[in-house]
Structure 1
Amino acid sequence: MSLSVVQGFSKSLAMTVLSEIGDKTFFAAAILAMRHPRRLVLSGCLSALIVMTIFSALVGWAAPNLIPRAWTHHITTLLFLGFGLWSLWDAFHDGEAEELAEVEAKLDADLKANGGITKEKNKIDDDLKKQKQPILAQFFSPILLKAFSITFFGEWGDKSQLATIGLAADENPFGVVLGGIIGQTLCTTAAVLGGKSLAKQISEKMVALSGGVLFIVFGIQSFLSKVDS
């Protein structure tokens, strides 16, 4: 594995883990997994994140071919520094559990709009449906599609998506995709298996601080590095 791939991989992995823990899509996966079969929720959320990661990396890879390389390099530098300051600002402002409450409210409203089905009855119905449906049909289940759509549109335009685009424009896109997918897999699996309790044990402030410092380090490194012609 070349040095450029390793560098893109390590940056993408660290960035993804610190960006996704405590994110809206993290909480959404955790809450959905409490109400629906974990396998379907994990499949839907992870599929959306993988598609988004690949798409973002492709955009970042194509950007230097559409506009001058120096421009993409400087834009990436500004993105990293801007996201770093944004994360530090979030860390020093009261926001603990706000995203969790917001996601819970949205999902509760959606649940009530669909008839107010209780969690236990919902799980029983899901189990019965799974027994009757072939494996292929489960890939088109409403639960999987719901998890996919909530995660995909929740990530669209998010800080982590824009950072992935910037990273792929400046680093090896294959390494960025590989690191992003592994990072998303770790975070989403943790969310589905016990994300709500995990999120309560981890300080959101420390995650934001760590992410902010990491983005600023990336920005400084990008600023000091030479632009490939």
Structure 2
Amino acid sequence: MPSVVETINVTVDNSTDLKDADIEQQAPKRCRLRFGSKSLLIVSKTLIQAFTMTFLAEWGDRSQLATIILAAREDAYGVALGGVLGHSLCTGLAVIGGRFIAQKISVRTVTIVGGVVFIMFAVTALMFDPNEGET
């Protein structure tokens, strides 16, 4: 909720649009992974953020638990390959769709709409009993 309020309070001049993101992308930020005094490799900060966000979002969710059960019953290599392909396709579509939306609508608008929809889902979850209708 605070991020929605902050986004609403941001003036149009201070909002982050695709143009600002393009300027930032011209000089990619990199980060060195170090082991002791040795630098192992240079990794994009965007890559690290995307990996961390996806890893933490997926860790322990229902689809991961279902994948664990499927791998226990079926061919683990097939499940791993199917999981990687499915997640890659889903994430790729999200990235392409997000890029397309960002070209048409400001990031501020997307954040506000997403926040309002999230709040609506939270309110409906509080109002309705998930066990309603079960016998």
TM-score using structure 2 length: 0.50
The structure where strand makes up a greater share of residues is: 2
The structure in which a higher percent of residues are helix is 1
Q: Which has the larger radius of gyration?
A: 2
TM-score normalised by the chain length of structure 1: 0.31
Highest relative contact order (Cα 8 Å, sep 6+), 1 or 2? 1
